[in-house]
Structure 1
Amino acid sequence: MDTGSHLLFGATLAGLAMLDPVVAGQPQLAHAVLAGTLIGSHAPDFDTLTRLKGFTAYLKHHRGLSHALPALFVWPVLVSLPLAWIFGVQDGWLHLFAWTMAAVCFHVFLDAFNAYGVQCFRPITRKWVHLDILCLYEPFLFGLHAAGLAAWLVTDWPPGPLFAAVYASTFAYIALRALHHRHSLVTFRKRYGIYGSCHLIPTLNWFRWQYIVEQDGRFQVGLVCKGRMESQEILEQDDNPAIQATRGMDGVRAFLQFAQRIHVSCKENEDGYEVKWSDVRFSHRHKLSFGVDVKLDRNLRVISQRAGYRKKGYEPPYI
């Protein structure tokens, strides 16, 4: 999810930690836990530093090893050990480690529920897990946790029970969204007789989904609301020697390792060709918003390549 949400959840996890009598009984340990959950809630996304080496490096590594099974143990150790020394709470290190680990695990758990996905089962498998249930930013969850944090700061309510209710509501919301997604997908398939691969991707509107259908060698994309199509677009696959000439590019190779629903197009112009590799999951209003653009000359030599989003950060889709 977005950075702001992850950090907010880190703060509310520190409130939930007040259910732990050892943490609640030692102010210094409670402060260390707050630092640990804040850092731990963002630690898996430290891989964004790879963007300094370019978007191709970022695409290769983001939500990969930093979110994998070993990382669920490595990050808490790296965060909790120095914090235990800084706050002088070595005797309570195990509790600090456990709550920091809870923050790391909750981060990865949430990332698995959006459309971008995460390689959370590495090294067992490099498969991307994306459940397509939550948006990158969920207003309900953000508002729920922000309200809980505000109540902790300005009232005398005991934080343990308060945040137990907040997290119970959080998991109930995710479960309801999962059931709604499943029901919407089954209804959509039956109503339109879809037999190929089909995805429903959430939008900020709870009752409107972006759909992606892959069958008969082409993509059908659009919006669906309460099981009924609101818009529709057909994306045909192109076939051109210029497309094959781009497969060896670093950006294209990294993209193909990550992308789930791949569309490629080739446009011929006066100087040569422009090949666009896109992940259809990131489409919005007749625009494929994420992929790799490669320009070639008439002899199929690569002139330039660009990998990344074809949109502003504030523009949809929010995945």
Structure 2
Amino acid sequence: MDTATHVMTGVGLAGLSFLDPTMANHPELLSSMLFCTIVGSNAPDIDIIHKWKGNDIYVQKHRGFSHSIPAQAMLIFCIAGSATMVNGGLYFSTFLLWTCLAVLLHVISDIFNIYGTQALRPLRNTWIALNILPIFDPFIMSLHLLGTFLWLSGLSSGIVFSYMYILIFIYVLLRYVIQRKIKRKLLSKRDSGVTYTLIPMFRVDHWGIIASLDDRYKLGKYENGCIIWSKDIMKADEKSNIIRASKKNTFVHFIKKQSDCIHAKIIEKMDGYEVHWYDLRYQSRIDEPYVAIIKLDQKLNFVNSEIKRGFIRPTESAE
């Protein structure tokens, strides 16, 4: 999820923590609890420190080791231990419990996105992405903002956020059911060798669709029960010497390992070639899409590479 949602999740968990008898009897611990839940809700994104090495390193490291089982455990104990020290060595178990929930919710919510995480590392190094929630979900954010407003208005935070998280659970379950329904509809009409990837959008009845055929990708949308195809993108020629030369770059290895929806576009230059590699799953400006630009000379020797991230739309640029 996005940073703002992680922060609001921390606020929500701090409100929910008043169901804990320790917090109910010691409301003066709220500031320490907010520290545990807000920092815990953002702690796995500590890998942002890799940004100083460049976008290519950051993208490859993001949601990797920092979201792994050992890293989660280390972050939980460090955050809970810090809050305990500030409070004279008391309430460690309470801080540990709610910090653990904050860190786990961060990782779980990231798994529901298209980017995914290596949450089971070192047991499994594969990327886990369920493609159920968009990177930023306005419904989940709105519920957190409403819950915070009701808490500040004087209502019981434990009760308010209990209902809120029940609603979020039902909402995620609904998205899962709709996703399964669309997959069944697509598979019922599937031609031999076609695979489908669903991209969650803001509305539960709107989903992006990528169909992978032998020679091309088809991009479309599921809207209000209807499947609408909008664009065909020819797949890169894997036999092309230019494509094969660009694939030697480590970042290209990374994106091909992470996604099955990869497209490459060759651009001829005066002094050689540029090969632009796109992950077609990123069809929204919110998703922070990226493009890897591999520069080759006229003899197909590697010159340099550049990773661009931000407000780009690879599905339009990759035609």
**TM-score between both structures, scaled by the size of structure 1:** 0.90
Separation of aligned partners in 1, 2:34 and 2:182:
39
1:113–1:133 contact (8 Å) kept in structure 2: yes
How far does residue 217 in structure 1 lie from its aligned partner after superposition?
4.0
- Is residue 51 of structure 2 the alignment partner of residue 55 of structure 1? no
For residue 170 of structure 2, what is the aligned residue in structure 1? Answer: 172
% same residue: 31
2:309 partner letter: Y
Q: What letter corresponds to residue 179 of structure 2 in structure 1?
A: H
Change (3 A) 1:163 1:289: closer
Aligned amino acid, residue 159 of structure 1: S
Alignment partners' CA distance in 2, 1:7 and 1:289: 22
Q: Aligned pair in 2 of structure 1 residues 284, 190: CA closer, same or farther (>3 Å)? A: farther
Q: After the TM superposition, which of the residue ranges 190-199 and 131-140 deviates more from structure 2?
A: 190-199
SS at match of 2:90: helix
Residue identity in the other structure for 1:135: P
Judge conservation of contact 2:60–2:251 (CA < 8 Å) in 1.
Answer: no
Which residue does 1:246 correspond to in 2? Answer: 246
Paired residues in the alignment total 311
What is the aligned partner in structure 2 of residue 201 from structure 1? 199
Match of 1:133 in 2: 132
Change over 3 Å in CA distance of 1:242–1:111 after alignment to 2: same
Matched to 1:91, the amino acid is L
2:215–2:234 CA contact under 8 A, matched in 1: no
Q: CA deviation at 1:267?
A: 3.0
Q: Which residue of 2 aligns with 1:215?
A: 213
Aligned-residue offset at 1:283? 3.9
- Computed over aligned residues only, the root mean square deviation of the Cα atoms, in angstroms, reads 2.3
Deviation at 1:291, TM superposition (A): 2.7
In structure 2, the partner of 1:159 is 157
Task: Indicate which of 174, 182, 185 corresponds to 1:184.
Answer: 182
Match of 1:258 in 2: 258
**Runs (5+) with no aligned partner, structure 1:** none
Listed one character per residue, the Cα deviations across residues 162-182 of structure 1 (whole Å, up to 9, x for unaligned) are 111111111111111111111
Instruction: Please give the secondary structure, in 2, of the residue aligned with 1:256.
Output: helix
The answer for the alignment partner of 2:22 in structure 1 is 22
8 Å CA contact 1:251, 1:306 repeated in 2: no
Amino acid in the other structure paired with 2:165: Y
Aligned partners of 1:255 and 1:291 also within 8 Å: no
Contact 2:178 2:204 in 1 (8 A): no
Q: TM-score, normalised by structure 2?
A: 0.90
CA deviation after TM superposition for structure 1 residue 195, in Å:
4.8
| Equivalent in the alignment of 2:90 | 91
CA distance in 1, matches of 2:33, 2:145: 19
Cα distance per residue 1:14-62 (max 9 Å; x no partner): 1111000012211343331111001000000111111111112112210
The DSSP-based 3-state class of the residue aligned with 1:91 is: coil
Which whole-Å CA distance do the structure 1 matches of 2:192 and 2:201 have between them? 21
CA distance in 2 between counterparts of 1:261 and 1:158 reads 47
Kindly indicate whether the alpha-carbon contact (under 8 Å) linking 1:16 and 1:159 is maintained by their aligned counterparts in 2: yes
